[in-house]
Structure 1
């Protein structure tokens, strides 16, 4: 679990909204780019974010918010690696299919772009279907 300190901003209809309570030390740290401590904070500090909580909270409470690393890894693979593989696969298939024909390079480039766009569309559709079964948001782990 990747954890981040946050502050409860409001509670509305049994929904907890938090903002990042990131310390100022992270701003001056030399390891900020490779540190997972700032991973959730970079999202939370922009605006209030809804989180799930089983703990009784009130506005102003400091809480520890966490999200599963495996979820972030799977999302990264889905959003970065799958379209890349689809694009190279489409280009390779077009290269094999149109080998030796006139304008083969145009067909290869067009197929790569089309494969990329189709993969992004499919990812969007799969995400919309799976979001009904499992919608992962940060959760409040403990009150500080």
Structure 2
């Protein structure tokens, strides 16, 4: 299970909009590596995550959520591996079946990869991630007590 503590930013009916606290990529080199630079350049926006919760919440309250990691791995395999496999199928079929030149093989590989992305997009929309609420923290607890539990 992948667990993350999020903060309630907005409430609309039974839907709570949660945002996560931004964590630095690493702190071993004091911001001199590429990870820190890219984190500072592109990691400034926060996305709100809507979730339906029946319990009463208030803005600023912390909620710990859990996600089944097997679904994440399954989703990643569809999104990353299928287009790559389809590109190889396109390349080898262009070479072995149609005896095309290198440019034709690249075209077939790109076409099959796009087809693989399309299949992965359709399959990705059918995969549903089950997010579970593990714990709802009282609003009066300081952040140091939440991280320590």
What TM-score do the two structures reach when normalised by structure 2?
0.69
Aligned match of 2:77 = 77
Deviation, structure 1 residue 51: 2.1
Tell me the equivalent position of 2:134: 141
Give distance in 1, aligned partners of 2:52 and 2:74.
Answer: 21
- Distance in 2 (CA, whole Å) between partners of 1:70 and 1:104 is 41
**1:126 offset after TM fit, Å?**
2.9
Residue 105, structure 1, aligned to residue 105, structure 2 = no
Aligned residues: 122
Superimposed CA distance per residue, residues 23-81 of structure 1 (whole angstroms, 9 cap, x where no aligned partner): x6x56544xxxxxxxxxxxx9x7122112434332222111122221121111111111
> Which residue in 1 is equivalent to 2:2?
2
What is the CA distance between 1:140 and its match in structure 2?
A: 2.5
Q: Distance in 1 between matches of 2:5 and 2:93?
A: 48
Q: Which aligned pairs between 1:1-144 and structure 2 lie closer than 5 A? A: 1-21=1-21, 28-30=26-28, 46-99=46-99, 103-128=100-125, 130=126, 135-136=128-129, 138-144=131-137
- Secondary structure of 2:86's aligned partner: helix
Structure 2: segments with no counterpart, 5+ residues? 29-42, 138-149
Contact 1:51 1:140 (8 Å CA) reproduced: no
Structure 1 residue 82, shift from structure 2 partner: 0.6
CA RMSD of aligned residues (A): 2.4
Give the gaps of 5 or more residues in structure 1.
31-42
Runs of 4 or more consecutive aligned structure 1 residues displaced over 4 Å after TM superposition: 26-30
Q: Which has the higher helix share?
A: 1
